[in-house]
Structure 1
């Protein structure tokens, strides 16, 4: 059992599960953010619910943070192991002949996404904690502030540009990682081809949707 846990197959399986969990969160996050383009009131209500609901804050949020940390740590571990295996097992490794650019550079696209998450936490999560536990009274929560906080973040062309670049790298990361997650958990049946099309569509549409939201608010701020 110990050998199984330490094997590359088990690590890939665990990483795939954490990746699929993060993909679900990404869809939920996109859905809420998209309402900021449609209705500020709905966005405020949904954001307030997510920011004050006990189940979300006490259970889902810690699980999400753990999933992010676990996924990236496991990615670094597997990347180091794969690089060592290539150095030892091959006289000359031709990556372009055996794999796509996206699969060979998952570590770099992952690092960009990780840097973006750090910026995102700095922009939204840290101010949220300060507002709830330092500046504001929990008895009278401000339900209408979420939309204004979101729009304010996209006043800067530099910050908006960083978000756009980050979501382009997220797209590249998902284009390989999302479909590979199903392969890692052993998904191989008559639905595999359709699932592959879905993962490609998701990997393109969701990041482009986030880019649209950022540019929409930036242009409206001009």
Structure 2
């Protein structure tokens, strides 16, 4: 086994992969949230449908999607491996009494928070990505071009209060996951310094609040809009 393979299979190597894939997924969240703000436009979904069409047909985006899916799988698999390894290495009942003093609630429950996000992601992709790719999605004309009307699928989903509730609760879980994961990724990569570490922590907290809040506001907005 080469030194590279040994490094990847070590605990530190797995944590580095977790950090790198986590930062990549954070970048994706920024792009995804930015594109989804088109749901707020009062144009009948034209801008959002053009965005969805571009994201599902552009060759470069499709290639990036493969990297994205691979990143998600790696992040989940290595998180699971590290979690199992940590539990097997820790004596039963170790530091239970002082767990709240030794670490934050977020860090102790990253596995639970990550599982919530993963379950939501599966539901989310089944509801929208799968429908866009393989479902019978209606079409609409935008600037003379016929595109799939994913906007109608999204707005129909968010007329259901229980789906909106699931979405919002999942964003709360994502926020807590990001609040610890953002800083933890930089820490794992050794990007720490007394001058800029406080800024990274503050930026991570701001990101963990702003992005999930933006995502959560979309279904709430569309649900309220459906009532009028």
Fold in common (TM above 0.5): yes
Structure with higher helix content: 1
Question: Corresponding residue for 2:187?
Answer: 183
Give 1:121's aligned residue.
125
Residue of structure 1 in register with 2:104 after alignment: 100
1:10–1:171 CA distance, 2 compared to 1 (3 A): same
- Between stretches 186-195 and 18-27, larger displacement belongs to 186-195
Match in the other structure for 2:61: 56
- The equivalent residue for 1:79 is 83
Aligned partners of 2:188 and 2:41: how far apart in 1?
38
In structure 1, how many angstroms separate the alpha carbons of the residues matched to 2:94 and 2:207? Answer: 38
Aligned 8 A contact 1:16 1:185 in 2: yes
* CA RMSD after TM alignment: 2.1
Aligned residues: 216
* Contact 1:41/1:144 (8 A) holds in 2: no
Residue among 157, 161, 167 paired with 1:153: 157
Contact 1:43 1:147 in 2 (8 A): yes
In structure 1, distance between residues paired with 2:159 and 2:52: 20
Q: Is the counterpart of residue 33 in structure 1 residue 36 in structure 2?
A: yes
Asked if 1:195 is matched to 2:200, the reply is yes
Shift of 1:144: 5.9
Q: Give the TM-score of the pair, scaled to structure 2.
A: 0.88
Structure possessing the higher relative contact order (Cα contacts under 8 Å, 6 or more residues apart): 1
The aligned runs of 1:38-49 (5 Å cut-off) are 38-39=41-42, 40-49=45-54
Structure 1: unaligned runs, 5 residues or longer? none
1:6 aligns with 2:9: yes
Shift of 1:80: 1.1
From the superposition, tell whether residues 68 and 210 of structure 1 become closer, same or farther in structure 2 (CA, over 3 Å). Answer: same
Distance in 2, Cα, partners of 1:33 & 1:172:
21
Q: Which residue of 1 aligns with 2:220?
A: 215
